[in-house]
C-alpha cells in the first residue's frame, strides 16, 4: 500500500468487492454477447427464409430483434465503461453528483452510472436513458 496522498472520492470499494463486481460484469457481458449472437443468427436465418415464407409479423419481429440488439449494445458499452472504472478506481461513483452509488443498487445493476437520486431526477426530467 502506498502512503501517497491522492484525491479519492468517498466511493471506494474494497478490492474483494470490486472483484465481485468485476466478475458479475464479465458474466453479464458474456450473457448479453450470447443473446446478441442468437439475435444475429435469428436475423440471418430469417433472411434466408425470406423468399419461401409469407411474411406477416416478420417485420415486427425483425424490429423487436433490432431493438433488443440496440439495447444489448448499449448495455455492453455501459459494462465496458464500468469495467474501465473499476480499473481506474472510480467505480460506483455517480456521474452527476459524484457521490457513492448505493451498493444495493450496484448489486441490482452493476453497471449503473447514477445514484438512485440522480437517476430519479433524470427520469423525472425525461432525460433518462434506458440504462444507467
Report the residue number, 25 or 118, with the smaller CB distance to Zn ion: 118
- If one asks whether residue 93 binds Zn ion (CB under 5 A), the answer comes out as no
Which residue among 97, 103, 120, 123 contacts Zn ion (CB under 5 A)?
Answer: 97
Select from 3-11, 32-40, 81-89, 115-123 the region that touches Zn ion (CB under 5 A). 115-123
Which residue among 17, 65, 81, 96 contacts Zn ion (CB under 5 A)?
Answer: 96
- If one asks whether residue 79 binds Zn ion (CB under 5 A), the answer comes out as no
Residue position matching grid coordinates 448505493: 102
Spatial CA neighbour of 106 closest among 33, 22, 30: 22
- If one asks whether residue 100 binds Zn ion (CB under 5 A), the answer comes out as no
List beta partners, residue 100: 93
Report the residue number, 72 or 93, with the smaller CB distance to Zn ion: 93
- If one asks whether residue 115 binds Zn ion (CB under 5 A), the answer comes out as yes
Written as one string, the DSSP assignment of 52-83 is TS--SSHHHHHHHHHHHHHHHHHHHHHHHHHH
Longest CA pairwise span in the chain (Å): 70
DSSP state of 3: -
Q: Which residues bind Zn ion (CB under 5 A)?
A: 94, 96-97, 115, 118
Amino acid at each position: 500500500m502506498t502512503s501517497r496522498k491522492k484525491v479519492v472520492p468517498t466511493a471506494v470499494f474494497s478490492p474483494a468487492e470490486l472483484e465481485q463486481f468485476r466478475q458479475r460484469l464479465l458474466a453479464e457481458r458474456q450473457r448479453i454477447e450470447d443473446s446478441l449472437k442468437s439475435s444475429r443468427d435469428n436475423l440471418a436465418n430469417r433472411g434466408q427464409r425470406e423468399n419461401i415464407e409469407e411474411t406477416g409479423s416478420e417485420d415486427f419481429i425483425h424490429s423487436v430483434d433490432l431493438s433488443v440488439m440496440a439495447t444489448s449494445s448499449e448495455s455492453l458499452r455501459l459494462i465496458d465503461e464500468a469495467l474501465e472504472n473499476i480499473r481506474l478506481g472510480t467505480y460506483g461513483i455517480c456521474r452527476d453528483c459524484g457521490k457513492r452509488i448505493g451498493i444495493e443498487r450496484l448489486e441490482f445493476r452493476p453497471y449503473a452510472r447514477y445514484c438512485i437520486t440522480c437517476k430519479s431526477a433524470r427520469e423525472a426530467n425525461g432525460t433518462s436513458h434506458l440504462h444507467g
